[in-house]
Amino acid sequence: MSVPRRRRRLPDEVRAAAVRAVLSFSFTLVGIVVATLASYAGSSLLTPALMAMGLGVFGTMWCLLEILISRQVAAQRLRAQAAPRPQPYRAPEPLAPRPLPRPGQQARPGQQPRPGQQQARSQAPGGRQQTAR
């Protein structure tokens, strides 16, 4: 015995379009009944009822087209979720700031000295190098 498959729930925009279509159709049917009764009674309400019925038919067709379009959009969205997507761009993380050398401390190799700190070396009278602070 086979188990019947459960139907998938319609996406929200398709269900909302279907509800609008049903409401438009029901108001159109009410307009048809009012127009029919007004024509039997010979009432002056016939002209507005016929105009409301015509607008109702137009609105119902519009809602049915909206259902078809929203179903297509929802189906494309479901197909696009299964397709491979390119990875989003992620900016590289900024480097952590390096501590600046303390006054009187030599800069590490490859590190620039601070603008206010110049490592000027001069020869002392005894031939030794002296660092200016």
| DSSP state at residue 127 | S
Q: Consecutive sets of 10 residues in the chain, 133 residues long: mean pLDDT of each?
A: 75 91 95 93 91 93 95 86 71 78 67 56 54 55
pLDDT recorded at residue 99? 75
Backbone angles phi, psi at 131, to 5 degrees: -100, 130
Nearest to 133 by CA among 104, 105, 109: 104
Strands (E) across 10-124 are located at 121-123
Q: What is the 3-state secondary structure (H, E, C) of 24-46?
A: HHHHHHHHHHHHHHHHHHCCCCH
Q: Are 49 and 38 in contact (CB under 8 A)?
A: yes
Q: Residue 113: what pLDDT?
A: 57
- What is residue 16's predicted lDDT score, i.e. its pLDDT? 93
pTM exceeding the 0.85 threshold for the entire prediction: no
